[in-house]
Amino acid sequence: MLSNEIITQIAAELADADRTHGVIPRITGRYPEATVEDSYAIQGVWRDAQIAAGRRLVGRKIGLTSKAMQQATGITEPDYGVMFDDTVYESGAEIPTDHFSNVRIEVELAFVLKRPLEGPDCTLDDALTAIDYAVPALEVLNSHIELEGRTIVDTISDNAAYGAMVLGEVRKRPDEIDLRWVPGVLSRNGEIEETGVAAGVLGHPATGVAWLANKFHQHGARLEAGEIILAGSFTRPMWVSRGDEVLCDYGPMGTITCRFV
């Protein structure tokens, strides 16, 4: 495992890359002995520094929950990161491209909890009972570590590559719609680039919420009421550049639009 000094140093490098919208060399290229536990420690040091600087945590993102994403990244297990209030956009937003590095878009559902959710034996039914509503969401990926050759250690350290999310307007309780069959048709500048259905996320998009509650229990923590949980993409990531117009059609759950400026 990495020393506390190295963990703190890498967290500072990532914070600087976030400020400058830059990219740092792979952590695993420099420290091949780094473990998943090290990567969450790095993320935790970075997170705590952001909170100390005044940012407010509003939720968690889960990543790499679908075969499409695992195949796209070469990483075969889920991960998670944190989301701050200044990273949440509404549909129709103009998003500043220069605020991010290696900018891509993913198609997801987000869940807002109405009650706390705690492991160690949390099930899908437990998660559905704790969820207030689901809402469509686009995730903006923001990678501060060079992409080639990266492992899950690199990705987790970099806050699971989370940059921002764009939330839709249609909200549905879990008992109002079969969330497995919510579609996503993702277009860039009028051309369809990716399609999928939410069942691609672990068989049911809320399964990841239960997984995260159980994962948190290992660290003596739980998911809290009011938190937004971004459940993971059911399409491959789509690259975007300044000037791109993005539209995602979620069928019965409406559409999301945004523009990169």
Please give the pLDDT value at position 30: 97
Please give the pLDDT value at position 138: 98
pLDDT, average across residues 80-105: 97
Least confident span in 74-78, 198-202, 218-222: 74-78
Distances (CA, A) of 250 to 14, 64, 107, 188: 34, 20, 9, 15
CA distance 160 to 229: 14
Q: Which residue has the higher pLDDT, 65 or 9?
A: 9
Domain presence at residue 101: yes
b/e per residue, 141-151, with b = 16+ CB within 10 A?
bbbbbeeeebb
Q: How confident is the model at residue 21 (pLDDT cuts 50, 70, 90)?
A: very high
Q: How confident is the model at residue 261 (pLDDT cuts 50, 70, 90)?
A: very high
Task: Count up the domains in the chain and report the number.
Answer: 1
Structural domain including 90 reads 57-260
pLDDT, average across residues 127-131: 98
CA distance 79 to 63: 5
Domain presence at residue 77: yes
Domain presence at residue 142: yes
Whether the per-residue pLDDT at 68 is higher than 80: the answer is no
Question: 20: number of CA atoms within 13 Å, CB side?
Answer: 10
Predicted model pTM = 0.94
Ordered DSSP codes for 48-87: HHHHHTT--EEEEEEE--BHHHHHHHT--S-EEEEEEGGG
Please give the pLDDT value at position 88: 98
Backbone dihedral angles phi then psi of residue 156, each to the nearest 5 degrees: -60, -45
Domain presence at residue 227: yes
CA distance 259 to 128: 32
Eight-class DSSP state of 143: -
Please give the pLDDT value at position 219: 81
Of the ranges 67-81, 177-191, 199-213, the best mean pLDDT one: 177-191
Please give the pLDDT value at position 67: 73
Asked if residues 232 and 69 have their Cβ atoms less than 8 Å apart, the reply is yes
Domain presence at residue 46: no
Asked if residues 107 and 194 have their Cβ atoms less than 8 Å apart, the reply is yes
Domain presence at residue 210: yes
CA distance 130 to 144: 34
Whether the per-residue pLDDT at 142 is higher than 80: the answer is yes
CATH number at residue 185: 3.90.850.10
Residues contacting 32, CB < 8 A, separation 6+ = none
Domain presence at residue 98: yes
pLDDT, average across residues 207-215: 93
pLDDT, average across residues 177-182: 98
Please give the pLDDT value at position 71: 73
Domain presence at residue 39: no
Q: How confident is the model at residue 73 (pLDDT cuts 50, 70, 90)?
A: low
b/e per residue, 192-209, with b = 16+ CB within 10 A?
ebbebbbbbbbebbbbbb
